[in-house]
Amino acid sequence: MNLPLSPDRLWDRLMEMARIGPIPGGGNNRPALSKLDGEARALLQRWGEEIGLSVTVDRLGNMALRREGRDPARKPVLVGSHLDTQPSGGKFDGPYGVLAGLEILHALHESGTVTEAPIVLVNWTSEEGCRFSPSMIGAAGAMGILSEETVLNAPAIDDGERYGDALQATGWAGAADPAALQNAAAYFEAHIEQGPVLEAEGHDLGIVTGGFATERALVTVTGETSHAGTTPMEMRRDGVLAACEMIAAGEAILYRLAPEGRMTVCRFMADPGADGVVPGGARFAFEYRHPSNETLRRLLDEADAAMAAIAARRKVSVVREPYWSFPRVAFDETLAARLREAAERHGARHRDILSGAGHDAYHAAARMPAVMLFIPCHGGVSHHPSESISREWAEKGLRVLADAVIATANSKDQ
Ligand SMILES: [Zn+2]
């Protein structure tokens, strides 16, 4: 199909979106459900309405921009990503997928092409998880992974503001049923890789066949708070030192059992965290990721045993409470094959790849055939203001995504 896709228009829109919430170094700080997030949404809505898309917003703030198909009986094909960023975010993590989807709909509109099934562009609420935990919470609510009530009551990590209250304050609490998005034929998400593999190997695109199994937990260590000058070392029950030893043990376990996996302490809090005080408590967000469910389980079991032994020796208690986890995600092979065929057609160098990062597509994959397409980013840098992509990668990703989305919307068996 010869669709009048405009890679320049996509690029210009990426740059215009990046003017909302700019930070030094060329990046963005556009937290979910902030005033800036509201501005980004309004811009997307305006662009969508200019090409005749009907815009609905659900009770969790997820935006759906719909272009009707020829056959009213067909379920829509979804394409989307997110517009919120990390506090030290770049211009492309999230917006690339949303605005590539918008460009497909724009080209269909301009050429007067009608697909068999409707196509719906989705901007999921609060993907990043830096303010409302867990990550991908809006998609989790829509796909029924978390209840609507759980999502609306999620407290902000910084000031405890409820998700539902922040949503009301931005003016983006809609009336639509979030679960309506489950009733779709397929979900596509284009995204930057956020890792260094594709560029290093000279690939233009990654066909994402699945994602790492992941478990993130809040670990709470409880000892006893005392005076930093007067309490002899052997009489302390220092929560922070115990936590540090547990973290080092967790890393050693990964290197010993499965160095191809990932281990991260995303946050660390000392309690009470006051000068001159031996901190009796510590809390940290601790996660492992691995391509195999079984290996992830083994890593967690060994870490639990090591943490318990350290706690006993240091006379503190430890509790590990998982709050964000999913098994190995498998994306849909039919959709992946469409992306591969399109990549061949456009002369894009491509490979299959697993995602180490979590994405909204993981939750969509629980309810419908789903797939992701990665474009490289320079040096693998992401969640950083200097995150960057080439125009060539942006264009190849757009053309391949467009072919696969439209083929799916026109396919008899979708
Ligand atoms: Zn993202």
Q: Ligand 1 centroid to 93 CA: how many Å?
A: 4
Q: Ligand 1 centroid to 89 CA: how many Å?
A: 10
Q: Ligand 1 centroid to 291 CA: how many Å?
A: 19
Regions of the chain where pLDDT drops below 50: none
pLDDT score recorded for residue 248: 98
pLDDT score recorded for residue 1: 62
Beta strands, E only, 33-152: 54-57, 63-67, 77-82, 119-124
Give φ, ψ of 93 to 5 degrees.
Answer: -65, 105
Q: Ligand 1 centroid to 128 CA: how many Å?
A: 7
Q: Whole-model pTM?
A: 0.88
Q: Ligand 1 centroid to 5 CA: how many Å?
A: 23
167: its two tokens: 């949503």
Q: Ligand 1 centroid to 20 CA: how many Å?
A: 17
Q: Ligand 1 centroid to 221 CA: how many Å?
A: 31
CA distance 81 to 124: 6
Query: Judging by beta carbons within 10 Å of its beta carbon (0-12, 13-18, 19+), is residue 125 exposed, middle or buried?
Result: buried
Q: Ligand 1 centroid to 197 CA: how many Å?
A: 17
CA distance 71 to 166: 38
Q: Ligand 1 centroid to 109 CA: how many Å?
A: 27
CA distance 188 to 204: 18
Query: Judging by beta carbons within 10 Å of its beta carbon (0-12, 13-18, 19+), is residue 231 exposed, middle or buried?
Result: middle
Written in H, E and C, the secondary structure of 131-144 is: CECCCCHHHHHHCC
Q: Ligand 1 centroid to 359 CA: how many Å?
A: 6
Q: Ligand 1 centroid to 65 CA: how many Å?
A: 19
- At how many degrees (to 10) do helices 7-17 and 35-50 cross? 150
Q: Ligand 1 centroid to 79 CA: how many Å?
A: 14
Q: Ligand 1 centroid to 277 CA: how many Å?
A: 39
All domains of the chain in start order, with CATH: 7-211+329-410 (3.40.630.10), 213-326 (3.30.70.360)
pLDDT score recorded for residue 240: 98
pLDDT score recorded for residue 414: 64
Q: Ligand 1 centroid to 106 CA: how many Å?
A: 22
225-274 pLDDT, tens digit each: 999 999 999 999 999 999 999 999 999 999 999 999 999 999 999 999 99
Q: Ligand 1 centroid to 37 CA: how many Å?
A: 14
